Amino acid sequence: MTGKLNAKLSVRLFTDEKCFGPGIASLLLRVEKYRSLRSAAASMGMAYSKAWTILKSCEEHLGFKLIISTIGGKNGGGAELTDNAMKMLKAYNEYRDELNAYADHLLAEKFSFYADLKD
């Protein structure tokens, strides 16, 4: 037998449709880091138009704005996360981390026999 048994969970939240998951969470973290949706998208190898579409769809399904954008000018444009986006991101990350911790515990409990199996 090779390797340790493990599980990989992916958390996606839904309203009427999928509205928040690992992709938008990563995009928002990068907007926070780069202060730009375009730079965030580029850092993920994603087209700006796709990032914009994902963001707008998520905002529509959640019912609130996730970023505030400013258009160029003397200091250039930029983007920052709204307070609601920060709350959503924090709650999502905590929820995901707690689910993963519980999944690890449950996996160890339910599959404790696995290490003893032999061909």
| Domain boundaries defined on the chain | 18-113
* 55-96 pLDDT tens trace: 999 999 999 999 998 887 666 778 999 999 999 999 999 999
Q: Which CATH number is 18-113 given?
A: 1.10.10.10
Contact indicator for 24, 54 with CB cutoff of 8 Å:
yes
Residue 82: which H helix or E strand, with range?
A: none
What is this structure's pTM? 0.86
The contacts of residue 37 (CB under 8 Å, 6+ apart) are 27, 31, 48, 51, 52, 55, 67, 69, 79
Euclidean distance between CA atoms 109 and 119, whole angstroms: 22
